[in-house]
Amino acid sequence: MRKMSVASAPGKTILFGEHSVVYDEPAIAGAVNKRASVKIQESLNNYSTLKSYDLGFEVILNTRRGTYKLVKGKPGIIRYILNAMGKFHDHSNIDMTLGLNLPIGSGLGSSAAVTVATIAALHDYHGVPITKEKLAEEAHGVEQDVQGIASPLDTLVSTNGGLVYLSREKRIVRFDKPLDAPFVIGFTNKYGNTGKMVKHVRHLKDNYPELINPVISTMGKIANEARIAILKNDIDRIADLMNLNQGLLDGLGVNTYELSRMIYTARENGALASKITGSGGGGSIISLCKNSTVDNVANAINKEDSTIKVKFSGEGVLVNRRSPPFN
Ligand code: MEV
């Protein structure tokens, strides 16, 4: 039998604290029920391959050099996989299959999900046990290498699952109860580039520290207020805080015409709040709705853009359907 390992990890949606989390401010994010899955099999050839039916690409890999030869399609997310392989693979020949039911660049953490699943599958394939804590740390290292700057938020949420509060000290605290409110995620076909957006905010912060530092620390305060509101399930307050956070994200210049269009469409059709989720510059928005308005909001967004139905999910990384640490 061919040696084989399979791992999967969820995407995420950020409710509070994108961008400010890069500067150690607290944030709140939840894993969603859309995942990346990575299957690794011993290769019968004298080379390694990576293919994705979901993303429509196929490549021959040179894992030692971190390069690839294209057979078919556009391998959008491959830099994360190559970086992980450079660190955690012994360069034996393998066939890798990537499944992804999240759009790339949608702000829903596809790169973190792919990275966490890849590292988890590689560790299992090589029989190297790893704890969730270490896995999140290694995945964060890959995101930093590829993006230049990255907070540990996406990879922590993808590894651990659930709705979490990330403190200034980088400790994650899971909320016991899921938020009892319907959300709609709207996304444009204009993909966001996280690295580019993070660099844009860094540039602003470097050039106007006296103006931008207070904006970033206010975003952190909003996340702290939101933690209390979520614990009380105080939906009106959560909504106010989301809208406030959106105003500040707009001020940081990560909004786009399409994101704004969705935000105002959602608000005008009964959403209690609507904001960018993730890095912006394209990608997605998240709208907090009432049960009575959720369909209205989704239908209105769908006229010009698209929605994805996601639910928060408690399930983090899984290896051969088990939770790590795994042996
Ligand atoms: C991207 O999902 C969230 C950002 O805060 C970047 C990061 O935390 O690495 C924009």
Active site (annotated) includes residue 206:
no
Is 158:316 a contact under the CB 8 Å cutoff?
Answer: yes
Predicted local distance difference test score (pLDDT) of residue 327? 40
Which of 113, 120, 178, 171 is CA-nearest to residue 143? 113
Domain boundaries, the chain: 4-175, 183-310
Which of 24, 54, 145, 154 does the annotation list as catalytic? 154
Order the strands of the 284-288 sheet from edge to edge.
Answer: 273-277, 284-288, 183-187, 306-308
Q: Which residues partner with 49 through β-bridges?
A: 60, 95
pLDDT at 18 over 60: yes
C-alpha distance from residue 258 to each of 61, 160, 282, 285 (Å): 36, 32, 7, 10
Predicted local distance difference test score (pLDDT) of residue 326? 57
- Distance between Cα 37 and ligand 1 center (Å): 21
List, for residues 279-309, the tens digit of each pLDDT value.
999 999 999 999 999 999 999 999 999 998 8
Over the chain, what is the mean pLDDT?
Answer: 94
Ligand 1, residue 22: give the atom nearest the CA. Answer: 8
The three state secondary structure string of 254-321 is CCCHHHHHHHHHHHHCCCCEEEEECCCCCCEEEEECCCCCHHHHHHHHHHHCEEECCCECCCCCEECC
List residues forming the annotated binding site: 103-113
Q: CA angle, corner 274, sides to 256 and 106, nearest 5?
A: 55
- Distance between Cα 103 and ligand 1 center (Å): 16
The residue contributing the CA closest to ligand 1 atom 2 is 278
Which of 88, 97, 167 is CA-nearest to residue 135? 88
Percentage of residues in the chain with pLDDT exceeding 70? 99
Mean pLDDT value across residues 127-150: 94
C-alpha distance from residue 261 to each of 77, 188, 239, 267 (Å): 27, 10, 18, 10
- Distance between Cα 278 and ligand 1 center (Å): 6
> Ligand 1, residues 143, 153, 172, 191: which to mutate, most atoms within 8 A of Cβ?
153
- Distance between Cα 140 and ligand 1 center (Å): 11
List, for residues 67-77, the tens digit of each pLDDT value.
999 999 998 89
SS3 126: coil
Q: How confident is the model at residue 325 (pLDDT cuts 50, 70, 90)?
A: low
Predicted local distance difference test score (pLDDT) of residue 149? 84
Burial 50-63 (b: 16+ CB within 10 A, else e): bbbeebebbbebeb
Is 306:298 a contact under the CB 8 Å cutoff?
Answer: no
pLDDT at 171 over 70: yes
Question: Does this model's pTM top 0.85?
Answer: yes
Please tell me the CATH code under which domain 4-175 is placed. Answer: 3.30.230.10
List, for residues 119-134, the tens digit of each pLDDT value.
999 999 999 999 999 9
Mean pLDDT value across residues 46-74: 95
**Rounded to whole angstroms, how far apart are CA atoms 288 and 243?**
10
pLDDT at 41 over 50: yes
Mean pLDDT value across residues 142-158: 93
The residue contributing the CA closest to ligand 1 atom 9 is 150
Mean pLDDT value across residues 67-94: 94
**Tokens (6 digits) for 30:** 């939840």
**Tokens (6 digits) for 33:** 């029920």
List, for residues 190-215, the tens digit of each pLDDT value.
888 888 999 999 999 999 999 999 99
Q: How confident is the model at residue 39 (pLDDT cuts 50, 70, 90)?
A: very high
Q: How confident is the model at residue 82 (pLDDT cuts 50, 70, 90)?
A: very high
Ligand 1, residue 18: give the atom nearest the CA. Answer: 5
pLDDT at 59 over 80: yes
Q: How confident is the model at residue 310 (pLDDT cuts 50, 70, 90)?
A: confident
Backbone angles phi, psi at 91, to 5 degrees: 70, 15
Ligand 1 shell residues, CB under 6 Å: 14, 18-19, 21-22, 109, 150-151, 153-154, 194, 198, 278-279
- Distance between Cα 221 and ligand 1 center (Å): 17
> Which CATH superfamily includes the segment(s) 183-310?
GHMP kinase, C-terminal domain (3.30.70.890)
Q: How confident is the model at residue 106 (pLDDT cuts 50, 70, 90)?
A: confident
List residues forming the annotated binding site for ATP: 103-113
**Rounded to whole angstroms, how far apart are CA atoms 8 and 272?**
33
Ligand 1, residue 12: give the atom nearest the CA. Answer: 2
Predicted local distance difference test score (pLDDT) of residue 9? 98
